Amino acid sequence: MTETAAYYSGNYRNVFKELGFSNEEIQDRIDDTWNKLFTDENKETQIYYPVGNDKAYMLDTGNLDVRTEGMSYGMMMAVQMDEKDVFNRLWNWTYQYMFMTEGENAGYFAWSCNPDGTKRSYGPAPDGEEYFALALFFASHRWGDGQGIFNYGKQARDLLRTCLHKGENEIGHPMWNLENKLIKFVPNVEFSDPSYHLPHFYELFSLWAYPEDQDFWKEAAAASRAYIKKSCHSKTGLAPEYAYYDGTPNNENGYGHFFSDSYRVACNIALDYEWFKDEQCPVDVAYRIQQFFADKDPEDYRRYTIDGEPFEEKALHPVGLIATNAFASLATDGPNAEKLVKLFWETPVRTGERRYYDNCLYFFSLLALSGNFKIWKANS
């Protein structure tokens, strides 16, 4: 790690400004996008829905459900934007309807609910838990802790403890394999999803989790950097949606190819590099991903094998893929990086029924490329 990393320097690249966009243009785009997603001014782009005086949910508009993925993403967006009311509404809804108190998954959050709060599933998805934890830590540091569920720091530490120690003295399974330090796709299986790997989050967990867990998170950061590199194809940089612990694609149910989940790998590499600049961060993977997509028409984005062979099936979330390919430019430079950022800038947020996932990735990319996806430390 170097002193130029954002964690140490407090400096964040503004890639848009480097390419000649003005501060006013950039801020206007961020504000406009926030309004499109988080207000009812444009119902064709809205994904955030208030409920009563103190709750709200993020709607997966393609599946008409509420997911821990989206709720945790919305909380991260809100803390980055200093929108405490939005954050608290989302967390209040999450805790009331998604938190499980019984059975083998007690202490986790049900990954899918109906908009009325009834559960569609009683299983968790670890990508939600890890985003919840860091969003809560950031809220604790930015706004201070409150009472009960709004004691953000305690909620984050308790959740991480459950993620590692579930099953020790009760039924259930941890969300990480405690031997190889790799996150699981779901707690009761022994394979992973490369896009779940967030080494930059684990670096922060190693500082802020309960002391007895901090060494684990430091080791998990190193393990995940290595795993990302070995699960991504050596020429294309493409990752499968599911992979075994040795990095080979898990294609038992057709998820061993590059598709929607996989897009997030580019984001995770880029933000890890921005925040920590660890020498093991697989930046070369980000370069290969950008090289693969630089000459492709977004109208023809598809599902691909990880060695780059296209399927007939078109990409389900092409705007999201445009956003993540641009996001990678936090860790890269050169003509491909510039081309893909400009393409993203020229692309509007998605409308219609499939807009949710695309526009979450879109907003995260906006924040990151403008220098606004920040680490919030205590007293920062």
How far, CA to CA in Å, does 106 sit from each of 124, 174, 196? 10, 11, 21
Q: Which of 130, 261, 278, 358 is catalytic?
A: 261
* Residue 98 neighbours by CB under 8 Å, 6+ apart: 66, 68, 71, 109, 110, 113, 119
The answer to whether 75 touches 83, Cβ cutoff 8 Å, is no
Give the 3-state secondary structure of residue 176: strand
CB 182 within 8 A of CB 191: no
Residue with tokens 């699960």: 231
Tokens standing for 248? 């080979």
| Among 69, 127, 213, 358, the one annotated catalytic | 69
261 in catalytic set: yes
Torsion sign over Cα 171, 174, 177, 183: positive
Tokens 């680490």 label which residue? 375
Could you give the CA distance from residue 29 to residue 23 in angstroms, rounded to a whole number? 10
How far is Cα 46 from Cα 34, in angstroms, rounded to an integer? 9
Q: Which amino acid is at 294?
A: A
| Residue 69 falls in the annotated catalytic set | yes
Rounded-to-integer distance, Cα 145 and Cα 129, Å:
19
Identify whether the C-beta of residue 268 lies closer than 8 Å to the C-beta of residue 328.
no
Nearest CA to 18 among 337, 360, 349?
337
Q: Which residue type sits at 356?
A: Y
Catalytic residues: 69, 261
